[in-house]
């Protein structure tokens, strides 16, 4: 979706678009252009990270960059202007003065034509002063009448005193404009510690007060209170807020929860406490599967694609779903229905520098082994490059997570929201195994299947897991069962 507005015949604005699935915000990771750079239609101007993936945004027109509204690392709401482009450089029309690069909370409202509008603060838009300010403007020719009108209106609004001051008109505006910027948790911390935010010196970007600023302000306040208080006074109330002030930045690092990490946290909490999970385990001899993988690597039909155990495991799961189609379903809470899926969008959990993502292979059930191998290879490489699109992560039905690549035996995976099952594959190791009545070294792995017990009974889940294990033990079942 491309979003743009036209402020004049010369200057055009490009807004943060909804890059897919109704996302409401995105973080600007990197700007590829600066003011004064020439851009062309379709040129990528920045990279943003949504709750699902990193996405490059192209500009939809030609021109010269006039201003960038937000800096890198800023989270911007969908629909906010992020860049202004001069589409007719050199023309006689006067260029608008560039606005300072700012946080999204300061740009939630367009620049007002009049200097006395509602001032945006960190949350909301502050005090509505329209009625207070209109009266002075009507009586601008008489300053004394304007002052009296402002005082009367302030009294009606509940902000005035019993005896109006000689010149109260300019007082409300600086109070609103200079309202300290701080996020709600920081405001609560200041309230708990008894700190007036107006007295705190901000060190955050664009004048935003941080938790550290509040702690720094609390430390001298506490020491001053101790020196003034009598020695017999109880020190408990004064010493209580001192503990947070001794934060050692060398021993702790605080990382903002946003983007992919925020989405992962919300999804996992939602899944774990919504779908009743059941996890079953099975240990299986996959020696024959490993031999098949080695043979397929030499097969001309598989040339140019990556062949590994995950490919055979994915095919085994698809066959098991075909034999037990009821497992491929979803729970519709709103309508109190179980939705049977007649297609399989196979998710593959991928660890990326930005966190865990689960892109899926669309209609994996219809793909041949070479096609499935090619799709797996493309999915993994795209995820590692951070180029997975939101559409690639939507609509999954079941998922595979290969924890074996980290050397662990298995785990108890949490369902991807909206899906019915997830298969965890452990490390394949050489272990002693009874084979044909004798103990021999064999390639062995452990599988774990978690499923939503609202729609998958123990019998059905057990059948699916047993079928996957049977195929990996005897890969010829890929032919006989398919």
* Residue 372 dihedral angles phi and psi, to the nearest 5°: -65, -40
Give the H or E element holding residue 380.
helix 369-384
Kindly report the CA angle at 386 between 385 and 389, in degrees rounded to 5?
Answer: 120
453 is catalytic: yes
Number of alpha carbons in the 13 Å side-chain half-sphere of residue 289: 29
| Chain center to CA of 450 | 25
DSSP codes, 393-454: GSS--EEEEEGGGGT-----PPPPTT-SEEEEE---EEEEEEETTEEEEEEEEEEEEEEETT
Query: Helix, strand or coil for residue 87?
Result: coil
Query: Helix, strand or coil for residue 477?
Result: helix
Question: Strand 11-15 and strand 4-6: pairing?
Answer: antiparallel
Considering the candidates 159, 215, 365, 453, report the single residue annotated as catalytic: 453
Residue 335: Cβ-neighbour burial (10 angstroms; 0-12, 13-18, 19+): exposed
Which runs of consecutive H residues, i.e. helices, occur in 77-142? 130-138
Provide the annotated active-site residues. Answer: 453
């Amino acid at each position: 979706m491309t979003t743009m507005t036209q402020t004049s015949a010369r200057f055009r604005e490009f807004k943060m678009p909804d890059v897919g699935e109704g996302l409401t915000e995105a973080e600007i990771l990197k700007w590829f252009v600066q003011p004064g750079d020439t851009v062309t239609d379709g040129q990528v101007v920045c990279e943003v990270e949504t709750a699902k993936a990193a996405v490059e945004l192209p500009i939809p027109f030609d021109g010269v960059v006039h201003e960038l509204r937000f800096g890198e690392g800023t989270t911007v709401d969908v629909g906010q202007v992020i860049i202004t482009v001069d589409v007719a450089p050199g023309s006689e029309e006067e260029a608008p003065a560039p606005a300072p690069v700012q946080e999204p909370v300061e740009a939630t409202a367009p620049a007002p034509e009049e200097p006395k509008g509602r001032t945006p603060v960190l949350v909301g838009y502050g005090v509505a002063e329209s009625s207070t300010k209109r009266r002075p403007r009507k009586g601008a020719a008489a300053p004394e009448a304007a002052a009296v009108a402002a005082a009367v209106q302030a009294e009606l609004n509940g902000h005035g005193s019993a005896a109006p001051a000689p010149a109260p008109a300019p007082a409300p505006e600086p109070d609103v404009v200079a309202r300290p910027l701080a996020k709600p948790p920081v405001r609560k911390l200041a309230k708990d510690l008894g700190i007036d935010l107006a007295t705190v010196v901000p060190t955050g970007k664009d004048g935003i007060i941080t938790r550290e600023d509040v702690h720094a302000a609390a430390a001298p306040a506490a020491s001053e209170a101790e020196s003034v208080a009598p020695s017999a006074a109880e020190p408990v109330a004064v010493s209580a807020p001192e503990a947070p002030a001794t934060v050692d930045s060398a021993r702790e690092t605080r990382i903002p929860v946003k983007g992919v990490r925020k989405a992962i946290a919300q999804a996992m909490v939602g899944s774990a406490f919504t779908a009743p999970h059941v996890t079953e385990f099975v240990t299986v001899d996959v020696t024959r599967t490993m031999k098949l993988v080695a043979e397929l690597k030499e097969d001309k039909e598989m040339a140019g694609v990556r062949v590994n155990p995950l490919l055979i495991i994915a095919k085994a799961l698809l066959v098991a779903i075909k034999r037990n189609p009821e497992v491929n379903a979803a729970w519709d809470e709103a309508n109190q229905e179980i939705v049977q899926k007649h297609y399989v969008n196979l998710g593959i959990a991928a660890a990326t520098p930005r966190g865990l993502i689960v892109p899926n292979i669309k209609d994996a059930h219809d793909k041949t082994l070479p096609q499935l191998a090619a799709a797996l290879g493309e999915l993994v490489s795209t995820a590692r490059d951070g180029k997975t699109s939101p559409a690639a992560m939507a609509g999954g039905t079941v998922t595979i997570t290969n924890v074996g690549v980290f050397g662990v035996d298995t785990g108890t995976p949490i369902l991807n929201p909206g899906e019915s099952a997830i298969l965890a594959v452990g490390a394949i190791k050489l272990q002693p195994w009874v084979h044909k009545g004798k103990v021999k070294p064999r390639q062995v792995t452990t599988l774990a299947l978690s499923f939503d017990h609202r729609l998958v009974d123990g019998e059905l889940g057990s059948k699916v897991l047993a079928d996957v294990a049977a195929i990996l033990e005897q890969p010829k079942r890929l032919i006989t069962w398919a």
